[in-house]
Amino acid sequence: MAIKKFGTYKAPNVAPITEDLDWWTPVEGKPTMKTWIENATADGQYLTGYWEATPGSYRVTYGVDEFIHMFEGKVTLTADGEAPQHFQAGDTFQIEKGWTGIWKTEETVRKCFAIRVS
């Protein structure tokens, strides 16, 4: 069994991926994102790291399960056909595979994540 040490969310250990994720389509404003994958299992089915997004909205269809802890920022998540949900720095939540809706970054978000791909 190994213990994996990350950098900090202010100083990650790896260079960021600066392209939008494949399943995120900008719909309002000019949001940008950065993804730091600090650890991936050998089979690529479990990823952990940090993520940052600037204000704006994306249409998203989740193809993964994601556990999130937000360090900074505010977001509004609106699942198709449902009422908006608001999250801010200090909140921890999970988005399940199959969730479809709008991710609106109200204030620049910085979060850590754990993603299960399968």
- Report pLDDT digits (tens) over 50-84: 999 999 999 999 999 999 999 999 999 999 999 99
- Report pLDDT digits (tens) over 77-117: 999 999 999 999 999 999 999 999 999 999 999 999 999 99
Question: How far, in Å, CA of 35 to CA of 98, rounded?
Answer: 21
Domains and CATH numbers, the chain: 24-116 (2.60.120.10)
- Report pLDDT digits (tens) over 10-22: 777 889 999 998 8
- Residue 49: what pLDDT? 95
Reading the block at residue 115, the tokens are: 């993603």
Say what the pTM is.
0.91
Residues 6 or more apart whose Cβ sits within 8 Å of residue 75? 86, 87, 88, 103, 104, 105, 106, 109
